[in-house]
Amino acid sequence: MLELVTPDGETTGSAEKLSAHAFPGTLHRAFSVFLLAPDGRLLLQRRALTKYHWAGVWSNSCCGHPHPGEDPAEAAARRTAEELGVRPDGLRPAGTVLYRYGDEASGLVEHEYNHLFVGALTGTPAPDPAEVHETALVDAAGLADLRARAPFSAWFPAVLDAALPEIRRTAPGGW
């Protein structure tokens, strides 16, 4: 179940995940996590090839949806541990962003009020293969190179741009 919200982030109810993502998309709460290694590189994930939407595309470290009534920061930490096998350290809010993107391959829609978080990567990721196909640690130049040659999630530019000020505060020099 997902938490439905207004454009201001006020809860209006809940809906089953697939129905909220069905065209034209129902606005719901989400989160995106950006984890930085001690050397300042950003952890990216390539979504599993078997995902029912946005399969095989690169995106931020972790993204997902809080359960109805669940604190977005707690959901972000929980889901990061589930997907990547590591708990983020010092997860900090980095703003919110509202977007709507359709996935032509599946016909599903991401219409999200997305809470952004930046934190430290501690430990070595051990991704759940049902969720994550592969991971990469990149600096700003490496990210630009990867974006030039591989598909990324439609929401990645929006969430990266919104989180960049907090990323720069956390890992200055190159971001």
Determine the pLDDT at residue 53: 84
> Is 62 noted as a catalytic residue in this protein?
no
Q: Which of 3, 62, 63, 83 is catalytic?
A: 63
CATH number at residue 35: 3.90.79.10
> Is 70 noted as a catalytic residue in this protein?
no
* Residue 28: Cβ-neighbour burial (10 angstroms; 0-12, 13-18, 19+): buried
In a domain, 145, yes or no: yes
Q: Is the dihedral of CA 105, 128, 83, 149 positive or negative?
A: negative
Determine the pLDDT at residue 106: 85
For residue 5, give Cα distances in angstroms to 12, 55, 108, 159: 5, 26, 18, 18
pLDDT means per 10 residues, the chain with 175 residues, are 97 95 95 96 97 93 97 97 94 97 89 98 95 97 97 97 95 78
- What is the domain count for the chain? 1
In a domain, 175, yes or no: no
Determine the pLDDT at residue 3: 98
| Residue 82: closest CA among 94, 67, 104 | 67
Q: Which tokens is 153 given?
A: 């999630």
Cβ-contact 167, 94 below 8 angstroms: yes
Cβ-contact 95, 29 below 8 angstroms: no
Cβ-contact 156, 60 below 8 angstroms: yes
Q: How far apart are CA 122 and CA 12, in angstroms?
A: 36
Q: Which of 3, 83, 110, 112 is catalytic?
A: 112
Q: Which tokens is 145 given?
A: 């190179």
Cβ-contact 56, 49 below 8 angstroms: yes
Q: Where in the sequence is the domain holding 107, given as residue range(s)?
A: 2-170
